[in-house]
């Protein structure tokens, strides 16, 4: 009996950088159309931004907004499963998950190319900053840091604020992920942009490029774009979705101010070569890292 073929050595990523409106159905329709566009351009995996089905509702604390949440599987995953089957592409989506009354998660889902729900990840690091009041809405994840087996290989999903934590990237890479996807909703407070904007954007990209280097993986950050909220405030999402290769080189990058379907090639032979020459995983001192589970080394 012939051996089933393994995952491809080379495959193409598609990153959907999109605007999100107050109309959830319009956002879903736009996302599905963008997945089709990416797949038609050869993408084997397509990733959507964080909470793409809604305008970014965490800018205020409002109990009525829990009505936006849905189960997994549910309407959004059903729609993504259909377009995955239609296009033969793996789809990484983001859902405001209703787990039970009073328990809601910010969840990334992976739909395999046959439409099967291959896995999910619940956001572990939950921010609470001005206009990012996520602790009001989301229970911290309890599934750990996972990698999901798909038609194109093993993929890792993390979400937005997780971007800043090397522990999250490391553990997901140790689970076997070749690519770390970061569905994202990040931007500027408009009044801060002139003073701090360039440094904030540079720090955001730098930390994720460092995850690619330290773990020898591809990193794909997929942001939304556009202004949401009142004209004299709100948030200006800075787009700039990008892919970094295992050497940390940015191999594809979108503009900060417009929608895009960004494409990038992944090559496992390149990943293998980088890891052979920079064997960071080999040289880890796993016997010496126990203190990492403590808040501070102040005793």
Q: Active-site positions?
A: 50, 123, 160
Cα separation of 241 and 64, whole Å? 31
Kindly list the distances between the CA atom of residue 57 and the CA atoms of 12, 28, 135, 253, in Å, as whole numbers in the listed order: 32, 16, 12, 26
For residue 193 the two structure tokens come to 């942009």
CB atoms within 10 A of CB 101: 7
Q: What are 196-201's contacts with CB under 8 Å, separation 24+? A: 197/238, 201/238, 201/240, 201/256
The 3-state DSSP class for residue 238 equals strand
| Distance in angstroms (rounded) separating the CA atoms of residues 218 and 251 | 10
CA distance 221 to 40: 21
36 burial (CB, 10 Å; 0-12 / 13-18 / 19+) is middle
Query: Pairing relation of β-strands 45-47 and 260-267?
Result: unpaired
Find out whether 243 and 36 touch, Cβ atoms under 8 Å.
no
Strands 187-188, 235-238: parallel, antiparallel or unpaired by DSSP? antiparallel
Beta bridge partners of 37: none
Encoded tokens for 39 = 């797949």
């Amino acid at each position: 009996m012939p051996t089933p073929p393994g995952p491809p050595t080379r495959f193409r990523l598609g990153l959907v950088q999109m605007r999100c409106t107050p109309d959830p159905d319009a956002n879903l329709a736009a996302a599905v159309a963008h997945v089709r566009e990416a797949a038609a351009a050869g993408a084997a995996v397509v990733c959507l931004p964080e909470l793409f089905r809604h305008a970014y509702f965490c800018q205020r604390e409002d109990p009525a907004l829990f009505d936006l949440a849905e189960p997994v599987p549910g309407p959004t995953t059903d729609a993504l499963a259909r377009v995955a089957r239609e296009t033969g592409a793996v789809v990484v989506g983001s859902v405001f998950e209703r787990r039970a009354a009073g328990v809601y998660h910010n969840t990334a889902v992976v739909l395999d190319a046959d439409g099967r729900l291959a896995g999910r990840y619940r956001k572990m690091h939950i921010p609470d900053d001005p206009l990012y009041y996520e602790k009001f809405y989301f229970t911290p994840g309890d599934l750990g840091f996972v990698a999901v087996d798909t038609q194109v290989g093993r993929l890792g999903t993390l979400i937005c604020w997780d971007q800043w934590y090397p522990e999250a990237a490391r553990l997901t890479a140790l689970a076997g992920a070749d690519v770390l996807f970061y569905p994202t909703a990040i931007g500027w407070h408009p009044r801060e942009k002139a003073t701090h904007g360039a440094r904030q954007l540079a720090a955001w990209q730098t930390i994720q490029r460092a995850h690619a280097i330290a773990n020898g993986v591809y990193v794909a950050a997929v942001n939304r774009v556009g202004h949401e909220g009142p004209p004299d405030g709100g948030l200006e999402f800075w787009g700039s979705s990008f892919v970094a290769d295992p050497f940390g080189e940015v191999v594809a990058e979108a503009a900060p101010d417009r929608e895009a379907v960004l494409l990038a090639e992944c090559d496992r032979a390149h990943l293998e070569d980088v890891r052979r020459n920079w064997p960071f995983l080999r040289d880890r001192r796993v016997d010496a890292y126990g203190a990492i589970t403590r808040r501070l080394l102040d005793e």
